[in-house]
């Protein structure tokens, strides 16, 4: 009996030791409330900051320091990401002391480690510096259609480390900013739609020119993408069976493909209505007659 009583008493002591005291429960409750408040405040600050960034750039777009729409979209996304990183980093540093982590020692260690990592992360530093200059010089922005090396497509996002480009067939290309050495931007200035139209050598070039020029004057009324009426440039080439005429049209950025197709379609219809022949491959067959045999009647 005595042994059983002693076992019960020891078990009760272990249970009491494992149970948290009211002070400990109070500390856990306070810590939990602090962590929840920090997280909620961080989320609210990020949301308010993003709203403030959008409104600020909208105001600047109307002010004396004008920012283009394409550049404002890029800056908004970048500044929103930077804001989120900074706020959540501060929130993390605020939460760590609640768990008894010494921040000063952690920051000193992080500083020393950052210097060591910096020597081994030169490519990362190069990407960040290149990303900064891409944004600072406004080389391209979100929504622009660009060509980088062998990749061509629409810019989805620009970060300090990488740039994302979506091609016309849907592929997503993620390129490190440090690898971007040459960029062709198709969205900054007006484009030129170049169209070549061929007529046969037997056709009247002067008549074809007058018909084409008369029709080109009417096209801007139907296509708002045209900056001004298309221009007939003259004979571009003399081919084996055709005379090639060239037409040029200044259009809004990235609409040259649409306008080129429209010009080809309408010029073909105009030439057909005016009985101007458009050359196409023809095949001529010759049948060789067998020679007469003069000795057949002998």
**pTM recorded for the entire structure:** 0.54
Q: Among 120, 150, 168, identify where a domain stops.
A: 120
CA distance 236 to 48: 60
- The DSSP result for 109-152, as a single string, is HHHHHHHHHHHH-HHHHHHHHHHHHHHHTT---TT-EEEETTEE
Structural domain of residue 147, as residue ranges? 139-185
Mean pLDDT in residue range 168-187: 86
In a domain, 294, yes or no: no
129 pLDDT more than 60: yes
CATH code of the domain in which 116 resides: 1.10.287.1260
Pair 109, 14 in one domain: yes
For residues 80, 85, 88 and 94, what is the CA-based torsion angle, rounded to 10 degrees? -130
Higher pLDDT, 1 or 33: 33
**Which pair of structure tokens corresponds to residue 19?**
């149970």
Pair 151, 72 in one domain: no
Task: Note the pLDDT tens digit of each residue in 61-107.
Answer: 454 444 456 666 667 777 777 788 788 888 887 877 777 767 666 66
Higher pLDDT, 162 or 131: 162
Higher pLDDT, 197 or 26: 197
Mean pLDDT in residue range 22-45: 81
Express the helix, strand and coil content of the chain in percent, nearest 5 each.
55, 15, 30
For a pLDDT cut of 90, what percent of the chain falls above it?
Answer: 13
User: What pLDDT does 123 receive?
Assistant: 72
Pair 206, 168 in one domain: no
Task: Note the pLDDT tens digit of each residue in 113-128.
Answer: 555 555 555 676 777 7
Burial status of residue 189 (CB atoms within 10 A of its CB: 0-12, 13-18, 19 or more): exposed
Strand order in the sheet with 151-158: 172-176, 162-166, 151-158, 145-148, 183-185
In a domain, 126, yes or no: no
Pair 203, 147 in one domain: no
Domains identified in the chain, total number = 3
Mean pLDDT in residue range 25-32: 77
């Amino acid at each position: 009996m005595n042994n059983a009583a002693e076992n019960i008493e020891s078990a009760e002591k272990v249970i009491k030791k494992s149970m948290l005291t009211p002070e400990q429960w109070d500390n856990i409750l306070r810590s939990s409330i602090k962590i929840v408040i920090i997280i909620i405040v961080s989320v609210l600050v990020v949301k308010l900051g993003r709203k403030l960034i959008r409104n600020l750039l909208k105001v600047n777009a109307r002010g004396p320091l004008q920012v283009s729409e394409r550049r404002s979209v890029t800056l908004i996304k970048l500044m929103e990401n930077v804001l989120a990183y900074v706020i959540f980093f501060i929130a993390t540093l605020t939460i760590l002391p609640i768990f008894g982590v010494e921040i000063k020692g952690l920051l000193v260690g992080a500083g020393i480690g950052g210097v060591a990592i910096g020597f081994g992360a030169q490519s990362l530093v190069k990407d960040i510096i290149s990303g900064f200059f891409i944004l600072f010089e406004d080389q391209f922005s979100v929504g622009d259609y660009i060509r980088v090396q062998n990749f061509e497509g629409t810019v989805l996002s620009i970060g300090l480390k990488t740039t994302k480009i979506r091609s016309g067939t849907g592929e997503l290309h993620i390129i490190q900013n440090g690898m971007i050495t040459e960029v062709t931007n198709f969205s900054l200035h007006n484009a030129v739609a170049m169209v070549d139209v061929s007529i046969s050598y037997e056709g009247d070039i002067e008549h074809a020119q007058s018909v084409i020029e008369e029709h080109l004057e009417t096209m801007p009324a139907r296509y708002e993408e045209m900056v001004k009426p298309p221009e007939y440039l003259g004979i571009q080439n003399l081919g084996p069976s055709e005379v090639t005429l060239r037409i040029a049209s200044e259009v809004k950025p990235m609409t040259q493909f649409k306008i080129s197709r429209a010009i080809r379609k309408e010029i073909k219809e105009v030439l057909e209505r005016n009985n101007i022949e458009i050359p196409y491959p023809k095949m001529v067959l010759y049948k060789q007659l067998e020679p007469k045999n003069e000795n057949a009647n002998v």
